[in-house]
Structure 1
Amino acid sequence: MITFTPLSGAAQTSRTIPLAYLLQVDDVRILLDCGSPDWCPEEESNSEDAEQKSHPWDKYCEALKECAPTVDLVLLSHGDLAHSGLYPYAYTRWGLKAPAYTTLPVQAMGRIAATEDVEGLRDEMDVDDGEQDQISRTASPEAEAGPSTTPPAKDAISAARRKKGRYVATVQEVHDAFDSINVLRYSQPCHLQGKCQGLTIIPFNAGHTLGGTIWKIRSPTAGTILYAVDMNHMREHHLDGTVLIRQASAGGGVFESLARPDLFITDAERAHVTTARRKDRVAALLDCVTATLTSRNSLLLPCDSSTRVLELLVLLDQHWNYSRLKFPICLLSRTGREMLTFVRSMMEWLGGTISKEDVGEDGTSGNKKRRRGDDDADDEALGAFALRFRHLEFFPNPQALMQTYSSKDPKLILAVPATLSHGPSRALFTQFAEMPDNVVLLTGRSEEGTLGRMLFDRWNNAQREEAKWDRGKIGSNVMMDGTLRLKINSKVPLQGAELDAHLAKERVAKEKEAAQKAAQARTQQRMLEADEGADDESDTDSDSDEENEVERALDDSMDIGEDDGDTPSKAPARSKRRGTKSSGVDPASWALGLDVDDAQARAVLSFDIYLKGNVAKATSFFKSEGQAQRFRMFPYVEKKRRVDEYGEVPDVGMWLRKGKVLEEDAESEETKEARRRAEEELKKTPAEPPSKFVTTEVEVQLACRLLFVDMEGLNDGRAVKTIVPQVNPRKMIIVHAPPEGTEVLMESCANIRAMTRDIYAPQQGDTVQIGQHTNSFSISLSDELLASIKMSRFEDNEVGYVTGRIASLASSTIPVLEPVSSASLPSAKSRRALRGRRLGARPTATLPQSTMIGELKLTALKARLATVGVHAELIGEGVLICGAAAKRGAASDALEDSVAVKKTARGRVELEGSVSDVYYTVRREIYNLHALVAA
């Protein structure tokens, strides 16, 4: 049985992102995508009671948090925030530890997008590190009343969670989460193990983003499931189209491996949209850019940080090289350089025009030499000629951009994020929009409720009815006017009294932490001393005698030194030395993993002791003459090995230190060098001064121009209505779609006769159940039974009919299927005795039924009959005429040697005609097109 539940991004909803779906195949729970919403919606930032309102993502986050520990498999399809942004937080905080799979570019681009997002948010606002801290702060007034305080009520907990609102991971958590993901190549089957044993997952190219994936899930009980969202069948500058639909040059149609799935999960976000031709959209964008820059004005182009920005960069770089423009292209992103470094190392995943330019298909030998010289000049290019971006400059923040270029210099600015909800794009928009003739160029609609969507709605409402964005036309830019009130979050350093109070608070916290560590060290020391004393009481006296002897020797030496004037006071030195032994071991010794005895020896003994007096010392005590001389030695206490009833107690710290040493020895020189450089960079990085978060409300006087050009790289309604019927699934689930798109796609499928009628469009939180629950068991076939099976080949499999008896063997936990022996069958006499005697009738025996596996295609049958010399013609309505009647101008008596093949229903084939050689030939060829499982 298949159970499907949209956690977010359902059908028939205006909020189509983020995407997250829970798919359960029998007992295996699969999480399809784990996207994050925009944490700074515009209506929340402008409302005074934002803290009391529930957030749009509350229902989604609560549902994901509840099901995260029970998920068995995670599949990520794209590397943007809408598909993988919340995975790091769910992995580290909510227990989403299930194995995760994706492609290598999705892992890298998802890491870049999440890092950019969390750094931008944590640089502008105070993000709580956990819900428990917020809940404890909510209940703190009651907790101070006394020990009889009741636990916080559910209302307080829910209010605290609503107040927390944002679930933002740290940078380290982002890296840890994406490092745990398993990567696959396109078309690489992965046979899962453990609880997911039996499932096979295969990724295919989806287009739209670098490494974007269509997931094919094969189950032995549920069949084939195809998860395909956010596809693009069109070839772009840096990507090829999806493999789901073959190009016209390859014959068109659906890719065979992805055709006719048992369940097809796809989106209909743009099923009601007609997009303008890609050539026209690219020309409109480049014309706007060129006209604005040549008129000595600037453009602001909000973009994402990892996926679609690469298409814009490649397009603009090619236009700059072709038109020989000298204006700078500025990218405001903290992770821009890192993103391009990753992309240059994954050239095999790129397509479009980049692959040709990289290998230089259209260049001569001289051109190749020039490119090789360029490679030597730019070592970061890694051979990627189309990814040089010589006109591109990187800036981490708007302040760095303003220091390089003034506001009057013409330039093209690409700033993250595309929603303008926070970060450089929002800060730059407040200054950029007030300058006349500047252009804000939008390439996507952004998430609902953000500033980017508000600007898009303003542009779309200003267009004529026939020039709307979903009518297949390119609109015109509009002049914005009026004012817009925006809230800007920022971090400012502390000054004056606030700085002094913060430093005092840090000093008190450090002192408290040091006191806690010292108390913990003393407690551990007492426990270890008590355990050692209890385990080895017999050696206590001798050990203490030796220690006392060493101490007395040290005291004598110190007394001599003190008498000589080495130390000003004798009593404090003794008290300090004895206090060190009694009060416990230095916490640094515990941090180094030293044993208790080693730490005591380090605290008591010193290796720079100056030994005075004679080297050999003889005693003059009576009855001691003739004894050997006693030479002075360094003080040392012999360490006793602790032994219990199981043997010697192992030293865990020693093994940990040894393992660390072995790991360091196994590292390569490159790894050691990279780690050393990282440590040096960390030391060079200046410490961040104490700061606070402030929110200022600014009033922006709008005077710039606004233009929208669709560059999201997604299928429009025409492509969706063409692809879905060709895939021809047995059942289909629509997700990630507004109400208009859902209705359009369902209506289009209803008008196709061969299309399935089992189409579902669940809303958020609704559960769809498909099929019935199936229990699968493991069984082993005996060698005797396996030798008696008649196998028939069908596609890539061999099938056969089996009749046997289950037997359990003591040597195996898996039951064995053995052939049924004739002795175990009841005799005919016993059967007659049980059934009773009936006059005039013989007992009937049930004949086993043979099974034919496969789907008959009349075109394939026609081609097969042509090879054996039987002429056949299709006359429509699923009928194939075979024999003499199929020839033109055939006489009426030719019907005697003709056969009609009809497909009356799914799985049923009828042969009509007289018994002749043609009849048997046609029947034999039909059998050959199927796998016959004989009983």
Structure 2
Amino acid sequence: MVVHQELATRTKTVCSFFAIQGTRNTQTRGDPGFPFVAEETAEYSFCMILTALSGDGHWSAEKPFAYLLQIDDVKILLDCGSPEWCTENGQADWTSYTSALKAIAPSVDLVLFSHGDLSHIGLYAYAHSRWGLHAPAYASLPVQALGKLAVSEEAEGIRSEQDVEQQEMPAGNQPDGEAPDNEHASTASSKPLIPTLKEISIAFDSLITLRYSQLAHLSGKCQGLTITPYAAGHTLGGTIWKIRSASSGTIMYAVHLNHMSERHLDGTVLIKGGVSGSSVFEPLARPDLLITDASRTLLTVPRRKDRDAALLETITTALENSHSVFLPCDSSTRLLELLVLLDQHWTFAHLRVPMCLISRTGKEMLSVIRTMVDWMGGAIAREDVSVPVSRSGQRRRNDYEDDLVNPALRLRYLECFSSPDAVTRKYPSNMPKLILAVPLNLSHGPSRQFFTELASVTGNLLVLTSRGDPGTLTRLLYDQWHAAQKNDHTLKVGEPIDGTGEVLNVVLRLKVPLQGAELEAYVAEKRAIKEREALQQATSARTQRLLEADEGEESSDEEDSDGGSEAGGGTNDAHDGDVTMDGTRSRSGNAGGDAQGGLDWSLLDADDTQSRAQQLSFDIYLKGNVSRATSFFRSTVAGVSSTQQAGLTRFRMFPVVERKKRIDAYGETLDVGMWMRKGRALEEDSRTVETEEMDVVEAQDEAAEEVPSKFVAENVPVRLACQIFFVDMEGLNDGRAVKTIVPQVNPRKMIVVGASSEATEALIHSCGSIRAMTKEIFAPAAGERLTIGQQTNTFTVSLSDQLLDSIMMSNFEDNQVGFVHGRITMSADSSIPILEPVVNASSASAQWNRVPGCIPQLPRSTLAPRASCSLAPSTIIGDLKLTALKNRLGAVGISVEFAGEGVLVCASPSGSDYVTVKKVGKGQVILEGSPSELYYSVRDEVYELHAMLET
């Protein structure tokens, strides 16, 4: 006998519909109010709102990526990129983007980062420290490390050339009711928003790192959401984020993908087996919402093999002709692919030309990536990392600092420099060499400085590996190269072009030391500032000493009587003398000088004596022990010691002596100093290693600013005489791949971002020509709130206590679901209708039978056929994952194997019974097998993965 059971499972819509019908009230069951009220009255259920802060679907120029995704009441910030602050046409206006990000930063509940370059993570440190973006932020470990290096490189580079300090308060510190000055706000917005190194360290240390495919269940306000990162390609640690919500389904954020395998990276996990004849990774297939970019839809690039060969051949030819090669590059993400390629070519071609990397964070970047080999793929993952051993069995030592480093990451021919001057000191300008300098856009820093030196030399080669951002020098040079190409270079690599001889006016911003009159003025100003600070410190110290002296009155008050001690009184009587009407003191009793605390008037000249007499004309002195400073008000005479000034001590009030209470309510003596010492000890113990490191960084910054300097802008004319060559090394999908991969993912809804209007329309038109592809494709404009959801009619009802007691709830993910069957009644006390359970006939008859005086009718004793009994229909909610079922069955000791796509074969420990589980369609699960303990065990595990509702 074979049992064939089919389970028709509904989608999560049933669960979501019930979940939005109401929230349990805080009132108790016995409260006459409404214990369960449906308060959802929105027009959309399963509502998601996407706001493109930057990088919308209709841009006119490339912008950073930053999107606000709102799921129910949870606000998720997807990326937080920084724009290109320095362009050839002056500072770009990014006020709208920065103002929007600043406004929503404190209310963000979750932050997700996809890549570690500036266009995705560049503005996070500034927003974290200045705008209150303190929500939990997640990223992969390489994105955290490389993003920190990229932001640090940009911050140091721009701060060394421009004055970027702005008078901006952190979020929440602005006084209530005060609006910022518009003129000041506009001036501040024109400057680059650059954080300090300390702020960068604090912000990136707060990131929470996840590994690929690591499921993270969120808590707090984000409870009910799960996030999972997957490999995106393009950059080390690049991430596709899968967001799972019980009410909104699955959202996939996938921007800047690369399906091609490279030397240091594998392609994205989204697609397997190449574009043609490929299959989509099952956990990422058919999402409810896909957010992806279309920036490369209109581009077609040649094969990687042809591009690498053309790049190496062009560089080698220029070097063999005794010319230098200049290659602008980024600081972390795409630099590793170039370094591995060039280092291998240097080894195989036996080149002896120096290869120089100019970057402040270059050495640190190499140290970081050598610890992340497990995140890499391609040729590096297949390299042998074993230690080289000689024939004698001894370990061979080489000139590299660590023999255990992966051979592909040793980069023996690479030399790192922190500044262009360091390269010039070691290698003359006329010596052929390969120079890799940051940044990629030639907007500032070493790359811009080297361009002015090498571009005017005939024969030198300038290699561009990216098209650059619009308005930058890199995009200007690319446009010249592109316009000079005779053949279509979309299917094959183009050719180098000779310099046109055009003179470019390049503005170099530098920080130069002060000289001459400027230096003297600066020193004088600094001296005046130090004098004012010293005066303020002296005043504060004097006030502090007076306060401490005033606190010491207790001991003298306890030891002395109101009239003073005998010895003290006699001593003071002998030296106080008489006080005249003009306030001067008689010298008859002060022959002993200041031995007993009196004032030696011989130390003062006549003018000082007269002024002193005028100052003391209204002072009244007391006899007693006043030899030490016990007063709050005390005059200071230049050239007179503290002991001599004791005779001039004045009291606040005559002749009252304040007695302070030095015990608490329990009679214990208060020791303020002990508590202060304990507080300082606890404060020192609370300092962590990170705080000490930040102090070191801050000290280095202060030391670097000790040299007086100023910021200048110099207009340098550069005659473009070098050769220019472009090869696409960005590591991104082109238009053919994008138009092939997106239909295979086949989302239910899709949002296109990060592209021009032409590229967006091209992708939408390509997807629209596919019948199985969704037609709900959106492309939001900048600042537009795009609402996505299912439009439904909702009502407000109240559930009675009897109905709540009759509901059988089942667990589904993070929610409890149940089936409700009742009728609507109205109450005179409220306008909200009440949903009550339906009373069937049998229960109604039982109620009538219990009524007093009612004679029940006995049933007739006649034979009749037994009525048919039908089971109550049930609804099963959930989506069965065969991998999850396999794990559950394996945990209970059942052998499980995959027999094909969508078929799971289960065997008993003895091997005598078999049960198969098949997924034959959407929501269709079939169990086949003979009635046995194995069959019912498998069925129970299948039921456990679903929520069953009795209807």
How far 1:302 moved relative to its partner?
Answer: 0.3
Letter in 1 for 2:460: N
Distance 1:72 1:123 in 2: 35
Q: Does 1:218 align with 2:233?
A: no
- Aligned pairs for 1:324-339 (under 5 A) are 324-339=350-365
Kindly indicate whether the alpha-carbon contact (under 8 Å) linking 1:8 and 1:16 is maintained by their aligned counterparts in 2.
no
Distance 1:379 1:526 in 2: 61
Kindly indicate whether the alpha-carbon contact (under 8 Å) linking 2:807 and 2:819 is maintained by their aligned counterparts in 1.
no
How far 1:6 moved relative to its partner?
Answer: 0.7
Kindly indicate whether the alpha-carbon contact (under 8 Å) linking 1:245 and 1:723 is maintained by their aligned counterparts in 2.
yes
Q: Does 1:702 align with 2:728?
A: no
Q: Does 1:17 align with 2:63?
A: yes
> In structure 2, which of residues 495, 507, 532 is the aligned counterpart of residue 512 of structure 1?
532
Larger RCO (alpha carbons 8 Å, 6+ apart): 2
Q: Does 1:170 align with 2:196?
A: yes
- Sort the Cα spacing of 1:682 and 1:75 in 2 relative to 1 into closer, same or farther, 3 A: closer
Indicate the SS of the match to 2:332: coil
- Sort the Cα spacing of 1:687 and 1:159 in 2 relative to 1 into closer, same or farther, 3 A: closer
Distance 2:627 2:349 in 1: 81
- Sort the Cα spacing of 1:292 and 1:580 in 2 relative to 1 into closer, same or farther, 3 A: farther
How far 1:286 moved relative to its partner?
Answer: 0.8
Q: Does 1:424 align with 2:446?
A: yes
- Aligned pairs for 1:387-786 (under 5 A) are 387-464=409-486, 466-467=488-489, 471-481=490-500, 482-519=502-539, 541-542=557-558, 582=632, 641=662, 643=664, 653-663=676-686, 688-771=706-789
- Sort the Cα spacing of 1:848 and 1:640 in 2 relative to 1 into closer, same or farther, 3 A: same
Distance 1:449 1:865 in 2: 56
- Sort the Cα spacing of 1:290 and 1:261 in 2 relative to 1 into closer, same or farther, 3 A: same
- Sort the Cα spacing of 1:500 and 1:220 in 2 relative to 1 into closer, same or farther, 3 A: same
Kindly indicate whether the alpha-carbon contact (under 8 Å) linking 1:32 and 1:76 is maintained by their aligned counterparts in 2.
yes
CA shift digits 1:393-419 (9 cap, x unpaired): 112121221111112111000000000
How far 1:689 moved relative to its partner?
Answer: 1.3
How far 1:528 moved relative to its partner?
Answer: 9.0
1:276 equivalent in structure 2: 302
Distance 2:166 2:563 in 1: 50
Letter in 1 for 2:397: G
Structure 2 residue runs of 5 or longer lacking an equivalent are 1-46, 171-176, 576-590, 605-615, 617-625, 635-640, 644-658, 823-835, 850-868, 882-897, 907-918, 926-937
- Sort the Cα spacing of 1:298 and 1:522 in 2 relative to 1 into closer, same or farther, 3 A: same
Letter in 2 for 1:35: G
Kindly indicate whether the alpha-carbon contact (under 8 Å) linking 1:37 and 1:82 is maintained by their aligned counterparts in 2.
yes
CA shift digits 1:113-135 (9 cap, x unpaired): 111111111111111233479xx
Structure 1 residue runs of 5 or longer lacking an equivalent are 46-54, 134-149, 585-602, 606-637, 806-818, 833-844, 869-900, 910-923
Kindly indicate whether the alpha-carbon contact (under 8 Å) linking 1:433 and 1:701 is maintained by their aligned counterparts in 2.
yes
- Sort the Cα spacing of 1:564 and 1:36 in 2 relative to 1 into closer, same or farther, 3 A: same
Kindly indicate whether the alpha-carbon contact (under 8 Å) linking 2:739 and 2:763 is maintained by their aligned counterparts in 1.
yes
How far 1:211 moved relative to its partner?
Answer: 1.0
Distance 1:547 1:442 in 2: 93
Greater Cα offset, 2-11 or 396-405: 396-405
How far 1:512 moved relative to its partner?
Answer: 2.5
Distance 1:260 1:773 in 2: 21
- Aligned pairs for 1:853-864 (under 5 A) are 853=877
CA shift digits 1:787-819 (9 cap, x unpaired): 97789xx9x9999855699xxxxxxxxxxxxx9
- Sort the Cα spacing of 1:658 and 1:232 in 2 relative to 1 into closer, same or farther, 3 A: same
Kindly indicate whether the alpha-carbon contact (under 8 Å) linking 1:189 and 1:201 is maintained by their aligned counterparts in 2.
yes
2:48 equivalent in structure 1: 2
TM-score (norm 2): 0.70
- Sort the Cα spacing of 1:120 and 1:560 in 2 relative to 1 into closer, same or farther, 3 A: farther
Distance 2:129 2:602 in 1: 56
Kindly indicate whether the alpha-carbon contact (under 8 Å) linking 2:390 and 2:396 is maintained by their aligned counterparts in 1.
no
1:827 equivalent in structure 2: 844
- Sort the Cα spacing of 1:527 and 1:58 in 2 relative to 1 into closer, same or farther, 3 A: farther
Indicate the SS of the match to 2:299: coil
1:837 equivalent in structure 2: none
Indicate the SS of the match to 1:359: coil
Distance 1:320 1:477 in 2: 21
Q: May I ask how many residue pairs the two structures share in their alignment?
A: 768
Kindly indicate whether the alpha-carbon contact (under 8 Å) linking 2:400 and 2:412 is maintained by their aligned counterparts in 1.
no
Q: Does 1:37 align with 2:83?
A: yes
Distance 1:256 1:279 in 2: 30
Distance 1:259 1:646 in 2: 75
2:255 equivalent in structure 1: 229
How far 1:527 moved relative to its partner?
Answer: 8.3
CA shift digits 1:623-663 (9 cap, x unpaired): xxxxxxxxxxxxxxx99855369996977633432224545
Indicate the SS of the match to 1:373: coil
Kindly indicate whether the alpha-carbon contact (under 8 Å) linking 1:344 and 1:382 is maintained by their aligned counterparts in 2.
no
Distance 2:355 2:810 in 1: 69
Q: Does 1:74 align with 2:74?
A: no
Q: Which has the higher helix share?
A: 1
- Sort the Cα spacing of 1:447 and 1:515 in 2 relative to 1 into closer, same or farther, 3 A: same
2:372 equivalent in structure 1: 346
1:596 equivalent in structure 2: none
How far 1:526 moved relative to its partner?
Answer: 7.9
Distance 1:354 1:190 in 2: 29
Query: Aligned-pair RMSD on alpha carbons?
Result: 5.3
Distance 1:738 1:646 in 2: 78
> In structure 2, which of residues 82, 85, 93 is the aligned counterpart of residue 56 of structure 1?
93
Indicate the SS of the match to 1:771: strand
Distance 1:866 1:159 in 2: 64
- Aligned pairs for 1:172-321 (under 5 A) are 172-247=198-273, 252-321=278-347
Indicate the SS of the match to 1:707: strand
CA shift digits 1:752-776 (9 cap, x unpaired): 1111111111111111111169999
Letter in 2 for 1:504: A
Kindly indicate whether the alpha-carbon contact (under 8 Å) linking 2:449 and 2:508 is maintained by their aligned counterparts in 1.
yes
Letter in 2 for 1:766: E
Kindly indicate whether the alpha-carbon contact (under 8 Å) linking 2:554 and 2:660 is maintained by their aligned counterparts in 1.
no
Distance 2:191 2:716 in 1: 24
- Sort the Cα spacing of 1:931 and 1:674 in 2 relative to 1 into closer, same or farther, 3 A: closer
Identity rate, percent: 46
Distance 1:757 1:6 in 2: 21
- Sort the Cα spacing of 1:321 and 1:933 in 2 relative to 1 into closer, same or farther, 3 A: same
